[in-house]
């Protein structure tokens, strides 16, 4: 796996650490940390899912990535991108956890300031999908 960190701006250490800690303490067992595409990524390891990521054979299946950008912290959650029910849950819960407007792309949630990071919501989001559920969903979507 690549450990290249080009393109990543040094984040405000405490904001980056806050998001990573929320994920590390909440993800179900079986995910592992890796560096993919210059980001810290929580993956289903090849030991659990040997088929890996179809776009990059030989790489583990990515699930959630965290990156520091010049504008703040970005959380890339592939489940939000591909699981409509998870996206619906997240977007309905977000206003209960933050006064700020949700800044989101297809699967990327952006946080501009540390005080706007909804840690509890990130923990709940991380805990909602197990590695086995992610692999099952991934295979279902891939075979469409």
Residue 7 lies in a domain: no
Q: What pLDDT is recorded for position 64?
A: 98
Q: Is residue 5 a part of any domain in this protein?
A: no
Q: Which domain holds residue 115?
A: 13-142
101: domain CATH number?
A: 3.90.1150
Report if residue 73 sits inside a domain: yes
- Whole-structure pTM over 0.85, yes or no? yes
Number of domains observed in the structure of the chain: 1
Residue 2, domain member (yes or no):
no
Distance of alpha carbon 38 from its chain centroid, rounded?
A: 14
pLDDT of residue 76: 97
CA-to-CA separations, 65 to 85, 96, 99, 129, in angstroms, rounded: 20, 24, 24, 15
Residue 23: exposure state from Cβ atoms within 10 A (0-12, 13-18, ≥19): buried
17, part of any domain: yes
Q: Please report, in tens digits, the pLDDT of each residue of the chain (144 residues total).
A: 333 444 433 445 688 999 999 999 999 999 999 999 899 999 999 999 999 999 988 999 999 999 988 788 999 999 999 999 999 999 999 999 999 999 999 989 999 888 889 999 999 999 999 999 999 999 999 887
pLDDT attached to residue 5: 43
Q: According to the 3-state scheme, what is the secondary structure of 36-100?
A: ECCEEEEEECCCCCCCCCCCCCCCCEEEEEEEEECCEEEEEEHHHHHCHHHHHHHHHHHHHHCCC
Give the pLDDT confidence score for residue 12 in this predicted structure.
Answer: 56
Distance CA 39, CA 64 (A): 10
Report which DSSP code applies to 105.
-
Distances (CA, A) of 21 to 9, 25, 124: 19, 6, 13
């Amino acid at each position: 796996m690549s450990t290249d960190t080009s393109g990543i701006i040094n984040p405000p250490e405490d904001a980056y650490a806050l998001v990573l800690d929320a994920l590390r303490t909440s993800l179900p067992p079986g995910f592992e940390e890796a560096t993919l595409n210059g980001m810290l990524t929580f993956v289903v390891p090849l030991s659990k899912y040997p088929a890996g990521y179809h776009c990059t054979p030989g790489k583990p299946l990515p699930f959630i990535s965290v990156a520091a950008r010049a504008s703040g912290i970005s959380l890339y959650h592939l489940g939000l991108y591909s699981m409509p029910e998870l996206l619906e849950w997240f977007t309905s819960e977000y206003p209960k956890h933050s006064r700020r407007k949700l800044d989101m792309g297809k699967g990327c949630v952006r946080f501009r300031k540390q005080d706007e990071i909804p840690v509890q919501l990130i923990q709940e989001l991380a805990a909602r999908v197990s590695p086995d559920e992610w692999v099952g969903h991934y295979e279902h979507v891939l075979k469409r």
